[in-house]
Amino acid sequence: MSTAPTTRRPLLADVAAKANVSIGTASRALNGRGELSDRTRLAVQKAAEELGFRPSPTARSLRTRRSLTIGLVVPHISHAFYAGVTEGAQATLEEHGYRLILVDSGEEPRRVGSALQTLVDQEVDGLLLSTAPVGVEQARETLAKTPCVCIDELLPGLGVGSVVLENAAGMGLLVEHMAGHGHTRIGCLAGPEDRSSGRERREGFLAAVRERGLDGSPELIRGGDWTIASGYREAKALLEVAERPSAIVTASAELALGALAAVRGAGLSIPQDVAMASFDDVYFAPLLEPPLTCVGYDTRSIGSEGARLLLAAIESEQPAWSESRIGVELVARRSCGCHYDETSQLAEAIA
Amino acid sequence: MSTAPTTRRPLLADVAAKANVSIGTASRALNGRGELSDRTRLAVQKAAEELGFRPSPTARSLRTRRSLTIGLVVPHISHAFYAGVTEGAQATLEEHGYRLILVDSGEEPRRVGSALQTLVDQEVDGLLLSTAPVGVEQARETLAKTPCVCIDELLPGLGVGSVVLENAAGMGLLVEHMAGHGHTRIGCLAGPEDRSSGRERREGFLAAVRERGLDGSPELIRGGDWTIASGYREAKALLEVAERPSAIVTASAELALGALAAVRGAGLSIPQDVAMASFDDVYFAPLLEPPLTCVGYDTRSIGSEGARLLLAAIESEQPAWSESRIGVELVARRSCGCHYDETSQLAEAIA
DNA sequence: CTGTTAGCGCGTTCAA
DNA sequence: TTGAACGCGCTAACAG
């Protein structure tokens, strides 16, 4: 009794049979490997086409030990930053025939380790890591043979490279702009220092302030974490120092939103009483009241650049560690005190 | 010459050897299949543990024809809605031992088809489809053997189910609330009708208006697409009709943002001249000026519910088509005319 | 240039 | 209850 020939998925063997060649030849023809006469190659390709042959990635992976799959670990895909990174990475990977498997590690650093392990078990060809692992030594171990690119974090000695923003330059732009508006006493919500981007932004602010001979008192720089609540709390504290700063610069959009609420809550007006500007441009920034002056950048290009770095490392035998910086630019609106008329605001908002 | 025993990935065979059993026994012990004495089972598990054995998902997939992988197609991962869906789906899938492979199809419907094909070739066990494919017939074909759950779209006869919002009820809440504020002539930016959510929102608005005997003139309902620009354009048109509506209700956050810009641009104040409220709650809604009254819902639960439906279909032999509705609720702020004091606004904003 | 064949690492059937 | 062997679908090494 022969099994009914229910139209099942055509295999390489079927293609070979239809083209009257061996299975090996069929494989070579479809993968463009080895010497092969044009005639047979075309015959095989035609047969494959007609049968609608789709090679099994699973079988192929098992054999070649390349999964054409990249793992991406993000702490929180809902955050605009990581969503942009993901979008950029996905697009670039797809262009190169790679798939993206996504793991949302959550904020808990403990889960990052297990996420990494899962992906390595998956036999991904590479990793994009957009959150710092708990123990770098442990991570280094599980990443022994899998290339890894860190996103928004400089971890010397881990992986094959990093893609980071021009953090210091960005803070410099903010300080420069505020100084241009005549401010000499500028407060800063710098966020935490547990990640390199935070450190760089804090130091960038300090350097820019000092460079211009502005007030660099420690009381003007406050930490906290990257949340709206923290921004609110720290900004409130900043407004209560003896000689109130006339401008506040924040190291992230969340901090800015919290600060916005705090300044409003204190009954102060922006930019008259306190000017404001922030790192991170968010799409609704022109719709806030007042429209928020920001340092912006292309989140998607962070992801694409990370993917590019990773693919390069995968191709090459001896990948050198490399660092890639994504540029930033100031987008002046009204919260800093710039003249920014309703017309351009509308135009920007609905763009 | 024996190959140097470089610490390579332990295989099932190594585990078997260490436990002094056959490969078959080792496999059974680790997968809990078949009859097995407790003694050998424990011995194998111990050996696997000690060696740090991690079974190869690739080999396993090839053998079992289950990849433990789900494909998710989104049009735009940067959009808060899809990001939330992705987060929810990822979390639920991970709980059940499944992986998520993400494809960003972009807005072009043509690419959805190829995304589907790619994922099916990948031998994913199921699909979450959060954007309507071009040709339903074609999609039905490529999905012949792969369970699929549609997100935010009712496609009768396609896949094993859908997860959608209570669209009509949500629009009803908005109309009801506006009516409560005394409005009888309410404008509506309903968005396009090419997807079921759009149709349901439009019809929900109309039904709610009629039910209450409010003005349901066609001039008060406008289409357009789901963009800020469209919201701006259509709201502007709405403000120019002979007898201006005293309230505007929008079917999405983008439409609301555009409308906000249009109302401001017309020199009108919210809610005094025009009251506003919208479908979709966004995290910065309380920080807008005025804080935006919305109909909100949990985007993550859309993803988790979709994943749950899909996994259920995968487990069962004869999956029945099922529809799941995610609840919505009104979040009253100030744009509708509600009294909403600064304190609660701040509290909500920094929450 | 082309055919043949041995696995990739695992799950599973058939025998014992 | 366990062992041995086969094969999932494909690529690569070798033989011709």
List pLDDT tens digits, range A253-311: 999 999 998 998 899 999 999 999 999 999 889 888 899 999 999 999 999 999 999 99
Whether residue A3 is predicted with pLDDT greater than 50 in this model: the reply is no
Instruction: Give A88-128 as a DSSP string.
Output: HHHHHHHHTT-EEEEEE--S-HHHHHHHHHHHHHTT-SEEE
pLDDT the model gives residue A318 = 77
> What is the average per-residue pLDDT within A67-94?
95
Cβ pair B102:A94 closer than 8 A: no
CA-nearest of B234, B159, B220 to B192 is B234
Whether residue A235 is predicted with pLDDT greater than 70 in this model: the reply is yes
Are residues A177 and A96 located together in one domain of the fold?
A: no
Are residues B137 and B250 located together in one domain of the fold?
A: no
pLDDT digits (tens, 9 = 90+) for B5-48: 456 789 999 999 999 999 999 999 999 877 788 889 999 999 99
Cβ pair B67:A58 closer than 8 A: yes
What DSSP designation does B334 have?
Answer: S
pLDDT the model gives residue B33 = 79
Non-local CB neighbours of B140 within 8 Å, separated by 6+ positions? B157, B158
Whether residue B264 is predicted with pLDDT greater than 60 in this model: the reply is yes
Are residues A214 and A257 located together in one domain of the fold?
A: yes
Are residues A135 and A156 located together in one domain of the fold?
A: yes
Task: Round to whole Å and give the CA distance between B351 and A227.
Answer: 9
Confidence grade of residue A349 (pLDDT, cut at 50, 70, 90): confident
Are residues B323 and B240 located together in one domain of the fold?
A: no
φ, ψ for residue B105 (rounded to 5)?
-80, -10
Gap from A16 CA to D8 C1', in Å?
Answer: 18
- Nucleotide nearest B44, CA–C1', reads D2
pLDDT the model gives residue B3 = 35
- Kindly report the CATH number assigned to the domain that includes residue B101: 3.40.50.2300
Gap from A24 CA to C5 C1', in Å?
Answer: 10
Give start and end residues of each alpha helix (H) in chain B. Answer: 12-19, 23-31, 38-51, 57-64, 80-95, 109-121, 136-142, 167-180, 196-211, 228-239, 253-265, 299-315, 342-349
From the CA of B17, how many Å to the nearest CA of chain A?
Answer: 22
From the CA of A54, how many Å to the nearest CA of chain B?
Answer: 7
Confidence grade of residue A2 (pLDDT, cut at 50, 70, 90): very low
- Count of structural domains, chain B: 3
Are residues A23 and A145 located together in one domain of the fold?
A: no
Chain C, protein-covered positions (CB within 7 A): 1-5, 7-13
Are residues B227 and B281 located together in one domain of the fold?
A: yes
Q: A116 lies in which domain range? A: 67-164+299-327
From the CA of B213, how many Å to the nearest CA of chain A?
Answer: 34
Q: What tokens appear for B261 in the block?
A: 């810009």
Are residues A245 and A197 located together in one domain of the fold?
A: yes
Gap from A66 CA to C1 C1', in Å?
Answer: 28
Q: Is A61 within a domain?
A: no
pLDDT digits (tens, 9 = 90+) for A302-343: 999 999 999 999 988 777 899 999 999 999 999 999 987 767
Confidence grade of residue B223 (pLDDT, cut at 50, 70, 90): very high
Cβ pair A100:B101 closer than 8 A: yes
User: Do the beta carbons of residue A234 and residue A224 sit within 8 Å?
Assistant: yes
- Higher-pLDDT residue of B96, A32: B96
Q: Is A2 within a domain?
A: no
pLDDT the model gives residue A142 = 77
Are residues A240 and A177 located together in one domain of the fold?
A: yes
pLDDT digits (tens, 9 = 90+) for B160-179: 999 999 999 999 999 999 99
Are residues B155 and B223 located together in one domain of the fold?
A: no
Cβ pair A78:B84 closer than 8 A: yes
pLDDT digits (tens, 9 = 90+) for B118-161: 898 889 999 999 987 666 677 777 777 899 999 999 987 788 99
Using a CB–CB cutoff of 8 Å, tell me whether A266 touches chain B. Answer: no
Whether residue A4 is predicted with pLDDT greater than 70 in this model: the reply is no
Does the CB of A37 sit below 7 A from strand D?
Answer: no
pLDDT digits (tens, 9 = 90+) for A107-126: 777 788 888 888 988 899 99
Whether residue A133 is predicted with pLDDT greater than 70 in this model: the reply is no
Are residues A51 and A139 located together in one domain of the fold?
A: no
Cβ pair A100:B99 closer than 8 A: no
- Nucleotide nearest B22, CA–C1', reads D3
Q: Is A60 within a domain?
A: no
Using a CB–CB cutoff of 8 Å, tell me whether B229 touches chain A. Answer: yes
Q: Is A39 within a domain?
A: yes
Are residues B140 and B179 located together in one domain of the fold?
A: no
φ, ψ for residue B188 (rounded to 5)?
-140, 130
